[in-house]
Amino acid sequence: MKILESLAQDVIAKRQPATASIADALRDAILKGVLKGGEPLRQDAIAKQFAVSQVTVREALRILEHEGLVEVAARRGAVVYSLSPEDVAEITDLRATLEGSLIKAAMPSLNAQDFEKAEATIRQLEQTSDVDELIALNVVFHQCLYGKASRPRTTAILDRLRISLEPYLRLLWNKTGYKRQSQDDHKKILALCREKKIAEVEKFLRVHIEKTGSEIEDLLKSLATKS
């Protein structure tokens, strides 16, 4: 209840449209791990705390369900979606395939300015330890290399897949050695892109994404053992 009260105060202060504001507040809490996988999201409690109708809350939950962050079951109601190791394996394979195809499509259009922006982003990643910044900059780096693919549907699917993993990515970025490993991979990916080695970029990008997926799977198994 205290979590909902805090979220409601933030929404009221921003004075944004109710449905979008509630979806934003709940999404942020899920992605930051404040609301954890399997946690129930009672429409009546949320409506009361945010001083809105249950219809408004239902619409907000539908947005999050579409994003893969919330699961709505007929009898159970809404809960924060909890990924299994099998889910992560599937998401990882999709991410590697889709991002590889985007970089391949973008490669002919990439120029020195794009590579400089990607390199500058790597430097920014080196200089921060803030998890919010690390996650945002990591996305920027990858977008520097596939943004020119001009494939909005594929990009939207990739974004949704990435968002579904964000609560676990936050834990990884706090893990000793993960940032160093990720940065080393980024530098190699950028070097291969500069040399226009498309096949090698796709192959190594898959390795990069699969390493992260494997670490998340191990993390989930560890959390399951402790619970």
Dihedral of CA 46/50/53/59: which sign? negative
Strand order in the sheet with 40-41: 40-41, 77-80, 70-73
**Residue 5 has what pLDDT?**
64
* C-alpha to C-alpha distance for 10 and 24, rounded to whole angstroms: 10
Burial class (CB in 10 A: 0-12, 13-18, 19+), 49: buried
Topology of 2-80 in CATH?
Arc Repressor Mutant, subunit A (1.10.10)
**Residue 165 has what pLDDT?**
93
CATH class for the region spanning 85-226: mainly alpha
What are the residue boundaries of the structural domains of the chain, listed by start? 2-80, 85-226
Cβ(54)–Cβ(48) below 8 Å: no
List the pLDDT tens digit at each of the 227 positions of the chain.
566 666 666 655 555 668 999 999 999 999 888 998 889 999 999 999 888 999 999 999 999 998 889 998 877 789 999 889 999 999 999 999 999 999 999 999 999 999 999 999 999 999 999 999 999 999 999 999 999 999 999 999 999 999 999 999 998 998 889 999 999 999 999 999 999 999 999 999 999 999 999 999 998 888 777 65
Give bridge partners of residue 77 from the DSSP assignment: 73
Query: β-strand 77-80 against 40-41: which pairing, if any?
Result: antiparallel
Per-residue H/E/C for 109-167:
HCCHHHHHHHHHHHHHHHHCCCHHHHHHHHHHHHHHHHHHHCCHHHHHHHHHHHHHHHH
Q: Which two tokens stand for residue 109?
A: 């259009």
Say which residues have a Cβ less than 8 Å from residue 72's Cβ, sequence separation at least 6.
Answer: 61, 62, 65, 78
